[in-house]
Amino acid sequence: MERKLDFEFIDYNYGKKDNSKAKELFSIDTARRAINFHREIPGYKITPLEALPNLAQMLGLGGIYIKDEAQRLELNSFKVLGGSFAISRYIQKKLGLTDEETTYEYLASEDCHKRLGDITFAAATDGNHGRGIAWASMKLRHKCVIYVHKETSQARIDGIRRYGADVHVVDGNYDDAVRKIAEDAKTYGWTIISDTSWDGYTEIPTWIMQGYTTMLLESQEQFAGMGIIRPTHVVVQAGVGALAASVIGFYSALFPENPPIFIVVEPDKAPCVFESIKADDGKCHSVKGDLDTIMAGLACGDPSPIAFNILSHNADFFLSVPDYIAARGMRILSCPLKGDPFMISGESGAVPLGALYSIMTDKGAEDIRKRMKLDKNSLVFMVNTEGNTDPKHFRQIIWDGCDPVPHEFRTRR
């Protein structure tokens, strides 16, 4: 009996692409501004762009390339790129500095601190973004308050507190934490550094998305060293959509006439972008409930409007996938085919590879593969957004086999 697909799928490539906003927000000059700032941070180094040639051959693809952000600074995640850049842009604007004056050294200086006065940076988080804001605040000697939701693991909370932040647990999900910190920031005069946007709050989330382009500019330099002009396909995960919009916006602006094919992946227990695309009315729609997915970094019920604008005008395909697909991605990376690199990836980081594997191996996905033009000529790019940020849960998946692949979807080759 033919197996059915275990994920939902939307083909959104209706020939209506509009990359004007992508060009505005994610120009090459903007990416260079971000990377020039990040290069000044002590400890900065380019993270690896790993090739998985043997897995690509097994799946019938030309190449699989993963940017390993688990090795970003000491944070184990890409999120610090957006948070640190947004803080630098906030201070730059507040003090009226030029780009040349907005160096990391100056931002950390006593003179800068005196001119700014006391500032408390604040954010709501599932873990990685909050840790990045806490780290940047500590390095620049500012106070930091982070709100997390009740399902946030103790390991993630401890990781934030390690960098001196005051952490508060909110009774509710991630979106409740976002709403609560927005209220409290007004009361206490905190400066919110959020990667999601809302009415009247778009500038800082835009800076965060632009900060992420550092890793993409690095990737293009690394591709050039391999003799590759650009990937043919990009598979990217979405929570509120900020990372996905950054990746898709960057490549849409860089290759406006011939962009890669963009595939957006979300957990089926928190598919806010997927459901908004499915509604097909150009509006953001909320997903309610506990959002109880193992992909903690993607457990978001409300899309970021500015990110959704990029995704709805530039992405090609949207997937909503069960948790086991992310878990399988983690296991593939931690136990690679001989000759392919070993990678440590958390649940949110591994879901693009898990989704690609399902697309390329599920018997019911032949038509999807054809529509996505995934074949022996395809060069697929994705980002491992996080490493082992929750050690207990990581061991439960890798060692204990939690979230196993259902029997009917197990590997047959």
pLDDT digits (tens, 9 = 90+) for 296-355: 999 999 999 999 999 999 999 999 999 999 999 999 999 999 999 999 999 999 999 999
Which of these is catalytic: 126, 175, 340, 403?
126
Both 95 and 72 in one domain: the answer is no
Choose the final residue of a domain: 201, 223, 244: 201
For residue 34, give Cα distances in angstroms to 41, 52, 191, 236, 344.
12, 28, 21, 21, 26
Rounded to 5 degrees, what angle do the CA atoms 70, 217, 98 make?
105
Both 89 and 219 in one domain: the answer is no
Task: Identify whether 37 is part of a domain.
Answer: yes
Q: Please tell me what DSSP assigns to residue 366.
A: H
- For residues 71-109, one letter each, b for 16 or more C-beta atoms within 10 angstroms of the residue's C-beta and e for the rest, the string is bbbebbbbbbbbbbbbbbbbbbeeeebeeeebbbebbee
pLDDT digits (tens, 9 = 90+) for 168-219: 999 999 999 999 999 999 999 999 999 999 999 999 999 999 999 999 999 9
Q: Catalytic: 180?
A: no
Both 90 and 54 in one domain: the answer is no
First to last CA, the chain: 17
Q: Please tell me what DSSP assigns to residue 42.
A: T
Both 64 and 87 in one domain: the answer is no
Token reading at 375: 């074949």
Which of these is catalytic: 67, 68, 79, 139?
79
Give the C-alpha separation, 143 to 278, whole Å.
41
> 400 is in which domain, residue-wise?
8-77+212-409
Rounded to 5 degrees, what angle do the CA atoms 249, 67, 88 make?
60
Q: How many domains does the chain have?
A: 2
Both 358 and 378 in one domain: the answer is yes
pLDDT digits (tens, 9 = 90+) for 46-95: 999 999 999 999 999 999 999 999 999 999 999 999 999 999 999 999 99
Q: Catalytic: 150?
A: no
